[in-house]
Chain A
Amino acid sequence: MGKAIINKKINDTFLRRALKNFAAAYPVARAKAFEGIDFEALRGRISDFKQAGLKGLPELVSRFKTQAEQTGAKVYVCSSPEEANRTILEIIRSKGADFLVKSKAMTSEEIELNPYLEKNGIRCLETDLGEWIIQLAGERPSHMVMPAIHKNKEEVAELFSKETGHDCPPDIPFLVRTAREALRGGFLTGQVGLSGANVAMADSGAIGIITNEGNGRLVTTLPDTHIALIGVEKIVPSLKEALDVIEVLPKNATGQKITSYVSFIKGPTGAGRELHIVLLDNGRLKLAADPDFSEALKCVKCGACANVCPIYEIVGGHVFGHIYVGGIGLVLTPFFHGFDKAEEILKLCIGCKKCNEACASKIDIEGLIVDLRDRIRKPMGQKFLFGTMMKNRKLFHAALRTAYLAQKPFQGEGGRIRHLPLILNRETANRSLPPIAEKPFRDLVAERPATSDQRPATREKVLFYTGCLADFVYPEMCRDAKESLEKLGYEVVFPQEQTCCGIPARYSGEMDVARDMARINTDVLLAQEADYVATICPTCTMSLKHDFQKLLEGDDVYREKSLRLAAKVFNYSELAARKIGFGSAQPTARSLSGVEGNVVTYHDACHLKRGCGVYEEPRKVLRELAGVEIAEMTDCDKCCGFGGSYSIKYPEISQEVLKNKMENIKATGVSTVAVDCPGCKLQIEGGLEAAGTGITVEHSATLVARKLRQ
């Protein structure tokens, strides 16, 4: 993605404010709309019937077609945008018409219908207010549900003044009234109306349209000919499934319980009227049969994945997407518009999984984005980095040791790095970085292999998997974790042959390398008998526990091994929490509660909360074992902007995400942020330090170890 456009969006103060306000208001409205509704059950049903439908999509299409034709509609299945455009043009021409009135249809954006029709002498009028605004501006939607969210009222007033020839003030009620009056004529004189549909039912041949403004009803009522342009994936078996879609869509899209209008249309209603249903394939039937990516088509186009995305919040839909925007836009673009259009945008995801949590049809959006990176071109040098270096632990670790020497000249006060030379400088502009340690944890352990009071017979044995960042940058964090787990009653062993979990390779699309790393670590961690494998990096936890088994499911030897490993892997806080209330070594930490300096705020790491489902244990550990109170911050589980190499590839975006996090931290008034992730610590600490806040960031293990030393 071009840096120029990213910077332009970052510096667009209106856009930033609009998206930030929306990001704050949306979760509140959404929660209210879902009050009393079991969202998980609802989206579980949607996911199930959508996935089942995709398996037999050609059959569903033909059933819908037969039923709709029985109602008197004409149905066309168009395999390409060209075919759909031509079909629609022919329908319009067959009516001797040259004016099309439209309600909102993302499919029409997808096939770029307006330019095609205009080129062929057909005037098109978008009547959805947002769509009309962007039609007048000659732009494309920046959100699937709120297409003109990037436009302010001044820009709209200017567009409307130009279009109507009257001076329009930037007053929103006035502008809406202007649209009503200006578009009314279009409804009354439009010869053909075009709509999309949110759902289509195979058993009745009916379609369902969900709108707020009322233009959908006018477009499908006033002109005698109605064309509905519908993606084939919108077909569901019956009304039963359609009702689930209608139940979830407005709530997830805009936080409305239901929209102003939900219309079910079956056949051409009234004498002399025509209904033409253009079913759009454009790669969908092929995608539906794709074993790896078909789930993308479960999408109901609610736009929630954009609504909750921390990156979308910074750059908007003109950067974060192509025609379809948000997380699912990144996934659908290669299939609808080609991999060349998707290459850059696929790299923009930071991997926080917020979208997965909000998705109305339970799509693993983030997982699909990562998997798609395997299919795009890789940058120069990446093959060497991952293919040669990362797979060779000794070489990789030797490089990190060399980096310790190379960074020395740049270390400033307190040993931290504030300024790197030349091109690397931009990355550190707003944060300070901890240096690579002189002695990684693996060396410290090798020097002092045995702990003082081992009672192996009675203790549960834990293999300690530190992850590279903690090992080489935060050896003291590793020491704190090992020491505190030992004091809590575990025997802790550090296997020296452990190496990178492979996530950087996987996120960069080097799946073969990721698979090799998974095999190496699986062997290392199964080589000796142990009860648990403990990690202090959530990304490693997620990788070992969830990703390895996915990566290795096609490997007959390692499939079983990866499952055996997964069952043993836990995050530090989970293992520590197990010991609360057991044994004589229990600290009575809560006696300290309320004391000044013992209040922290807790930042949930994306990969711990959404990657592993762990968010209660860390809080318990902090309260019960570290003896601190927690002052929760707003958006405690929203990404800090680190994302591993993301902060190096897109430092400008990463820094903006971090700013939001720092604002929320500062608002709590605490002087310590507790985290369970060395990456989050690196990011947040760097930002807080560079801003001179005096707020420190500590891993839970450090806070627990400190308390246990008292």
Chain B
Amino acid sequence: MIDLFQESAEAVGTVVKRFVSTADAVSYVKGLAGDASPSASYLPPEIAGAFAGTVFAAPAELADTRLCISFAQAGIARTGSLLLELANPEQRSATALPLIHAVFLRGSSIVSDLYALGEILTRGLTSAKTAYLSITTGPSRTADIERVLTIGVHGPKELHVLVLEGE
């Protein structure tokens, strides 16, 4: 499943890295960030914990950050897609504005195709709360000028997926 996910994701220009240890994944992301402060969208505690000591950009600075770090609830093998739960508008902006988007994904949460995501989507859409569920596949793209595919128009120009395989 992870192999197919990687193949599909790379076919649409996503950078896929596979890690056995969360710490290695975190250090890869820190390398992407360089000296600048990254912004963070939602991160589960164990991943957030691994970033102890990192200073994240404040909401007001989102438009100027280079890298955003986030977490996907699930992946789709057939299309190399990620499901992000982004009901919080600040966490959403964080994934939409920067140039680079790095997403943690648990290998075990990858499903086969769009339909296999139905259950988790239904849960999100039928709960009493409001919801913003975003299926993201590859970097932002356009072919609006002469049908020439160009990467990174309004959203991130780079999408990195950190697949966590050791669980």
What is the interface of chain A, defined by CB distance below 8 A to chain B?
18, 21-22, 25, 71-72, 127-130, 133, 146-149, 151-153, 156, 172-173, 175-176, 179-180, 183-184, 187-188, 201, 203-204, 206, 212-215, 217-218, 220-222, 239-240, 243, 246-247, 254, 257-270, 273
B77 to chain A, nearest CB (A): 12
A313 to chain B, nearest CB (A): 14
Q: Which residues of B contact A21 (CB under 8 A)?
A: 147
Does the CB pair B153–A213 fall under 8 Å? Answer: yes
Does the CB pair A217–B130 fall under 8 Å? Answer: no
Q: Which residues of A contact B141 (CB under 8 A)?
A: 212-213, 260
Q: Which residues of B contact A18 (CB under 8 A)?
A: 146-147
Q: How far is the CA of A204 from the CA of B114 in the complex (A)?
A: 19
Q: Which residue of B lies closest to A264 (CB)?
A: B133
B115 to chain A, nearest CB (A): 6
Q: Which residues of B contact A130 (CB under 8 A)?
A: 142, 144
Q: How far is the CA of A269 from the CA of B125 in the complex (A)?
A: 13
Report, nearest first, the 10 A-B pairs whose CB atoms are least far apart: A214-B155, A267-B130, A130-B144, A214-B140, A129-B144, A214-B154, A262-B135, A266-B131, A204-B125, A264-B133
Does the CB pair B132–A269 fall under 8 Å? Answer: yes
Q: How far is the CA of A273 from the CA of B92 in the complex (A)?
A: 14
Q: List 19 A-B contacts (CB under 8 A).
A: A127-B154, A129-B144, A129-B153, A133-B144, A151-B145, A184-B63, A206-B131, A213-B140, A214-B153, A217-B92, A221-B93, A243-B114, A246-B114, A254-B143, A257-B8, A257-B137, A264-B133, A266-B130, A266-B132
Does the CB pair B155–A213 fall under 8 Å? Answer: yes
Main secondary structure of the interface of A (DSSP, over half): mixed
Partner of B142, one of A188, A212, A257, A267: A212
Known contacts A222-B93, A258-B81, A261-B134: does B114 contact A247 (CB below 8 Å)? yes
Q: Which residues of A contact B96 (CB under 8 A)?
A: 214, 217-218, 221
Known contacts A147-B144, A149-B147, A184-B63: does B153 contact A264 (CB below 8 Å)? no
Does the CB pair B131–A265 fall under 8 Å? Answer: yes
Known contacts A206-B131, A213-B154, A217-B96: does B136 contact A260 (CB below 8 Å)? yes
Q: Which residues of A contact B124 (CB under 8 A)?
A: 264, 266
Does the CB pair B131–A269 fall under 8 Å? Answer: yes
Q: How far is the CA of A257 from the CA of B135 in the complex (A)?
A: 13
Q: Which residues of B contact A243 (CB under 8 A)?
A: 114-115, 118, 121
Q: How far is the CA of A213 from the CA of B140 in the complex (A)?
A: 5
Q: Which residues of B, 109-163, contact A by the 8 Å Cβ criterion?
A: 114-115, 118, 121-122, 124-126, 129-148, 150, 152-156
Does the CB pair B63–A188 fall under 8 Å? Answer: yes
Partner of A173, one of B132, B134, B150: B150
Q: How far is the CA of A584 from the CA of B79 in the complex (A)?
A: 56
Q: Which residues of A contact B129 (CB under 8 A)?
A: 267
Q: How far is the CA of A619 from the CA of B22 in the complex (A)?
A: 61
Q: How far is the CA of A162 from the CA of B136 in the complex (A)?
A: 34
Known contacts A221-B96, A239-B118, A266-B131: does B136 contact A261 (CB below 8 Å)? yes
Q: How far is the CA of A184 from the CA of B64 in the complex (A)?
A: 11
Q: How far is the CA of A130 from the CA of B145 in the complex (A)?
A: 7
B52 to chain A, nearest CB (A): 28
Q: Which residues of A contact B139 (CB under 8 A)?
A: 260
Q: Which residues of A contact B155 (CB under 8 A)?
A: 213-215, 217-218, 260-261
Does the CB pair B134–A263 fall under 8 Å? Answer: yes
B75 to chain A, nearest CB (A): 12
B87 within 8 A of A: yes
Known contacts A18-B146, A260-B140: does B154 contact A215 (CB below 8 Å)? yes
Does the CB pair A175–B126 fall under 8 Å? Answer: no
B53 to chain A, nearest CB (A): 29
Q: How far is the CA of A67 from the CA of B126 in the complex (A)?
A: 10
Q: Which residues of A contact B63 (CB under 8 A)?
A: 184, 188
B89 within 8 A of A: yes
B54 within 8 A of A: no
Known contacts A217-B96, A222-B93: does B146 contact A152 (CB below 8 Å)? yes
B78 within 8 A of A: yes
Partner of A263, one of B88, B133, B150: B133
Q: Which residues of B contact A247 (CB under 8 A)?
A: 114-115
Interface string of B1-32 (1 = CB under 8 A from A): 00000001000100000000000000000000
Q: Which residue of B lies closest to A271 (CB)?
A: B89
Q: How far is the CA of A240 from the CA of B122 in the complex (A)?
A: 9
Q: How far is the CA of A21 from the CA of B124 in the complex (A)?
A: 42
Q: Which residues of B contact A212 (CB under 8 A)?
A: 140-143
Partner of B125, one of A128, A222, A264, A270: A264
Q: How far is the CA of A156 from the CA of B148 in the complex (A)?
A: 13
Q: How far is the CA of A213 from the CA of B144 in the complex (A)?
A: 10
Known: A22-B147, A221-B93, A264-B134. 12 other contacts (CB 8 A): A179-B153, A206-B125, A217-B134, A246-B114, A257-B12, A260-B12, A260-B137, A260-B155, A263-B132, A266-B124, A266-B130, A266-B131
Q: Which of A221, A239, A262, A270 has the most CB of B within 10 A?
A: A221
